[in-house]
Amino acid sequence: MRSSEKQEKMKKTGEKTKAKRSKEEQEEQEEEQIFNFNNNNKAADEDGGDEDLTDSEESVFSGLEDSGSDSEDEEEGEDEESVEDDDDDDEEDEDESVKTEQVQQGEQKEEEKEEKEDEYAQDSSDEEDIRNTVGNVPMEWYKDFPHIGYDLDGRKIYRPIRNKDELDHFLDKMENPDYWKTVHDKQTGSDIVLSDEQVELVNRLQRGQFGDVNFNEYQPTVEFFTKDVMIHPVTNRPADKRSFIPSLLEKEKVSKLVHAIKMGWIKPRRVEPDSRGRFYDLWANEDSSILSNHRMHLPAPKVQLPGHQESYNPPPEYLFTEEELSLWEQQDPSDRKLPFVPRRFSNLRQVPAYQRFIHERFERCLDLYLCPRQRKMRVNVNPEDLIPKLPKPKDLQPFPTTQSLVYRGHTGLVRSISVSPSGQWLASGSDDGSVKFWEVCSSRCIKTVQVGGAVKDVSWNPNPSVCLLAVALDSVVLVLSPSLGDKQVVSSSERLLSGEQEPTEEAGPVIWSDTEGEELNRGVRLKIHHPKAVHQVAWHAKGDYLASVMPDNSSHLQVLIHQLSRRRSQNPFRKNKGLVQCVSFHPLRPYFFVATQRSVRIYNLVKQEMTKKLQANSKWISSMSVHPGGDHVICGSYDCRLSWFDLDLSTKPYKMLRHHKKAVRGVAYHRNYPLFASASDDGSVIVCHGTVYNDLLQNPLIVPVKVLKGHVITHDLGVLDVTFHPTQPWIFSSGADATVRLFT
């Protein structure tokens, strides 16, 4: 709005000058003008084309700016209400200018004639419009009156009855082809259609040209004085004497300077040795002296030498074809091969300013600014070298890889499994209250013993000369004689059970009882009644001692060690050191491992003292297994970890394995092969290779080799127990899906 206003004002001034030029005619022909004008207006209203015809030939420098008025009109139409005042002002200004033009318009014929007459004859008035005598006052003063001014005779000029509303305006805009050059004269209150010449004049003024088409801006100059030296002087005066005599003043000055130079006061200007030059060779090799001064000197990065592509007239093969150009345009600026398009100019003069100059200088400055000042000694390390060199699982065979057999028959989740020392039988205890014996090689259930309660743990006696199974069930530990295998073995186990019976001490918390009748037929030989629920049983390698675990946070009576041959039980601990999770005997030496929630304690049974306490770094230990060599222990925990302890090394885990996604439920070592495995609630068993070297300096090699899947996750429980075959590289796992699986 404001800019358009300005425009308007500028126009107005321009037009005013014009108006002045034609003042005289206006003055002269007042009466006629009004008459004519009115006529014209009427004609324009009725028939726009008519007026065009009349005006077209004569009027050369009259007219009104079209675009301005056009936009004005539009604005009026669009936002009249909001900016009414502004509009009014504009219109007013416009009106004035329009008025003058129209005046001119009317008089074009006379104009030409009068030019030949006395051009200063009519130079009387500043009045521009003589139809309305109110003068140059804002027309809004007459807003509330029915008239808009007075004519020369003092009669009121009445406001034309305008009943054009918005709709009419709009329709007019849409339908009238001359609408764009129709302007409203506020002083007379009538609409005026501009002629083509007027429009042309407006256009010319807008372009900054002279209104008169015939005006020549570039007239040949007439010089008063020539630059040529003439043979004759301008004056005839003889030369002065001083022009022949050397100047004393100058002589004095020179002598002073000479003296000053002689005295050394003035030094002649030192001539800059041009050897370096003002430009230096950017691409030259760096001075070696700098290099020798600074060992770690880094030369600034050099800009690339300009090539043929940069030339203003490159060979045609460097110019882009259209495909290349389109490709260049499509590419991301950072991906472009060249940052510019090579262009060809016929001569250097036509080369325009390089647009990317600032940009490139900036980039160059950045290059220099960001270039490293110091040479960093970086060790080039191949990331693969950082990975510890683990042998490939393929080279670590044998280990179980595929599921071979599924032992189906249980109806509840199978909490615990145990393989007979010979590897022929597998015992499994389930929540369905049964212990089943399976033939390993055929997955045949040979025997089922109903024990009447959820079985927490089963464990074969590791002594191959007896055939006994300990079963933890509620608060009872049962000793089963499955009578599988050799008769000699069966009889020797019978002998062990029926060993001499010590007179039962009343103080003992445990009651031993023989079974009779039905239970005896089922194979249950012995019952050891505990005061609390038993969660785990563990045999000593010799097969005579049996440890049972009754987790209880508040009592020191959590672990009991039973001697089968003498039917004796004892509580090895006097103090409660935390909730006992599981226990294990050392396979060779008289040590006893007790895993509490967060640590594993190792007791020397002979000296009756604690020898070591292992910190598991896990929140809750779930299971533990001792290496057959006895120097390594693995612990599984409910927070998905498996920790390997090297007893000779430290009380901290030698290695933590976090391969499981859910709680680890069971861990196991293989008796002969360097294998261990962990079972988890995520339904998988992970088999790892774990070589233990006899050399004490060499750490165990632990490589996860296989993830065995097969168990279906039931009630958020996956694999509950895992155990290796004693002689083959096979693994058994039992799960919450009531199956036992063999992986070979």
Partner 1 sequence: MSQLQARFFTEDKRYIVDDVPFSIPASSEVEDLGNIINKLLLAKNASHSKVEFDFLVRGQFLRTSLSFHMETEGISTEEVVEIEYAEKITAPQPEECMMHDDWISSVDADNEWILTGSYDKTARIWSPEGKAMMTVAGHTDVVKDVAWVKRDGLTSLLLTSSLDQTILMWEWNSEKNKVKARHCCRGHTGSVDTVATDPTGSKFSSGSWDKMLKIWSAVPTDEADEVEEPADRPRKKQKTQQLGLTRTPLMTLSGHNEAVSSVLWSDTEEVCSASWDHTIRVWDAETGEMKTTLTSTKVFNCISYSPLCRRLASGSADRHIRLWDPRTKDGSLVLLSLTSHHGWVTAVKWSPSHQHQLVSGSMDNLVKLWDTRSCKAPLYDLAAHEDKVFCVDWTESGLMLSGGADNKLYSFKYSACQTDAGA
Q: Do the Cβ atoms of 254 and 262 come closer than 8 Å? A: no
The residue (of 482 and 653) whose beta carbon lies closer to partner 1 is: 482
Rounded least distance, CB 420 to partner 1, Å: 11
448 interacts with partner 1 by CB under 8 A:
no
Q: Specify the amino acid at residue 576.
A: N
713, 661 contact by CB (below 8 A): no
Confirm or reject binding of residue 486 to partner 1 (CB under 8 A).
Answer: yes
Please enumerate in sequence order all residues whose Cβ is within 8 A of that of 242, keeping only pairs 6 or more positions apart, or say none. none
Q: What string marks each residue from 708 to 727 as x (binds partner 1 by CB under 8 A) or -?
A: -------------------x
Question: How would you class 101 by CB atoms within 10 Å of its CB: exposed for 0-12, middle for 13-18, buried for 19 or more?
Answer: buried
**Residue number, 56 or 397, with CB nearest to partner 1:** 397
CB nearer to partner 1: give 311 or 492.
492
How near is the Cβ of 641 to partner 1 at its closest, in Å? Answer: 32
What would the two tokens of residue 19 be?
A: 């108006």
Q: How far apart are the first and last CA of the chain?
A: 90
Q: Which is nearer to partner 1, 415 or 522 (CB)?
A: 522
Kindly state whether residue 443 participates in binding partner 1, applying the rule CB under 8 A: yes
Minimum CB distance to partner 1 smaller for 410 or for 530: 410
Q: Which of 83, 446, 610, 701 binds partner 1 (CB under 8 A)?
A: 446
Residue 398, C-beta contacts closer than 8 angstroms, at least 6 positions apart:
673, 729
| Site mask for partner 1 (CB under 8 A), range 676-715, x = bound | ----------------------------------------
The residue range among 7-15, 275-283, 483-491, 710-718 that interacts with partner 1, by the rule CB under 8 A, is 483-491
Residue 238 burial by Cβ neighbours in a 10 Å radius (0-12, 13-18, 19+):
exposed
- SS3 of 213, please? coil
Q: Going by DSSP bridges, is the β-strand pair 444-450/434-439 parallel, antiparallel, or unpaired? A: antiparallel
| Rounded Cα–Cα distance for residues 524 and 77 (Å) | 108
How far from the centroid of its chain's Cα atoms is residue 105's Cα? 69
> Does 397 participate in binding partner 1 (rule CB under 8 A)?
yes
Q: What is the spatial distance between Cα 19 and Cα 16, in angstroms, rounded to a whole number?
A: 5
Q: How far is the CB of 461 from partner 1 (least distance, A)?
A: 17
Asked if 744 interacts with partner 1 (CB under 8 A), we say yes
Comparison of 499 and 630: residue with beta carbon closer to partner 1: 499
Nearer to partner 1, 483 or 617 (CB): 483
Helices (H) and strands (E) in the chain, counts: 16, 33
592 neighbors 547 (Cβ within 8 angstroms): yes
List the x/- string, 407-436, binding to partner 1 by CB under 8 A: ---------------x-x------------
- Residues in contact with partner 1, counted by CB under 8 A, come to a total of 19
Residue among 398, 508, 590, 629 that touches partner 1 (CB under 8 A): 398
Q: Whole-angstrom Cα distance, residue 437 to residue 426?
A: 6
In whole angstroms, the minimum distance from the beta carbon of 674 to partner 1 comes to: 15
Q: Determine the 3-state secondary structure of 94 from DSSP.
A: helix
> Considering the complex, what minimum distance in angstroms separates the CB of residue 546 from partner 1?
26
Which of 142/438 has CB closer to partner 1? 438
CB nearer partner 1, residue 31 or residue 395: 395
CB of 467 to partner 1, least distance (A): 12
**Smallest distance from the beta carbon of 486 to partner 1, in angstroms?**
4
How many CB atoms within 10 Å of residue 328?
17
Tell me how far apart the alpha carbons of residues 349 and 351 are, in angstroms, rounded to a whole number: 6
Distance CA 608, CA 150 (A): 133
What is the identity of the amino acid at 377? M
The stretch among 152-160, 442-450, 514-522, 579-587 that binds partner 1 (CB under 8 A) is: 442-450
In the complex with partner 1, the residue whose CB is nearer, 540 or 741, is 741
Tokens 């007896």 sit on residue: 466
404 counts as binding partner 1 under rule CB under 8 A: yes
Structure token digits, residue 236: 């005839």
Rule CB under 8 A: is residue 405 a binding residue for partner 1? yes
Q: How far is CA 42 from CA 161, 379, 638, in A?
A: 15, 96, 103
Q: With binding defined as CB under 8 A, does residue 487 bind partner 1? A: yes
Cβ-based nearer residue to partner 1, 38 or 424? 424
Closer residue to partner 1 (CB): 442 or 611: 442
Beta bridge partners of 561: 547, 570
* Cα-based angle 60, 61, 62 (whole degrees, multiple of 5): 105
Quick one: which of 488, 513, 611, 698 contacts partner 1 (CB under 8 A)?
488
Q: What is the DSSP letter of 564?
A: T
Residue of 255, 442, 450, 465 that binds partner 1 (CB under 8 A): 442
Stretch in the footprint of partner 1 (CB under 8 A) among 82-90, 453-461, 485-493, 696-704: 485-493
Stretch that binds partner 1, among 74-82, 176-184, 260-268, 398-406 (CB under 8 A): 398-406
> Cβ of residue 315: shortest distance to partner 1, in angstroms?
51
Q: Looking at the DSSP assignment, which residues form a beta bridge with residue 148?
A: none
Choices 16-24, 142-150, 303-311, 440-448 (CB under 8 A): range interacting with partner 1: 440-448
Q: Which residues of 189-208 are buried (b: 16+ CB within 10 A; e: fewer)?
A: bbbbbbbebbbbbbebbbee
Surface-to-core class of residue 666, CB atoms within 10 Å of its CB (0-12 exposed, 13-18 middle, 19+ buried): buried
Smallest separation (angstroms) from partner 1 to the CB of 404:
6
Q: What residue ranges bind partner 1 (CB under 8 A)?
A: 397-398, 404-405, 422, 424, 441-444, 446, 485-488, 491, 727-728, 744
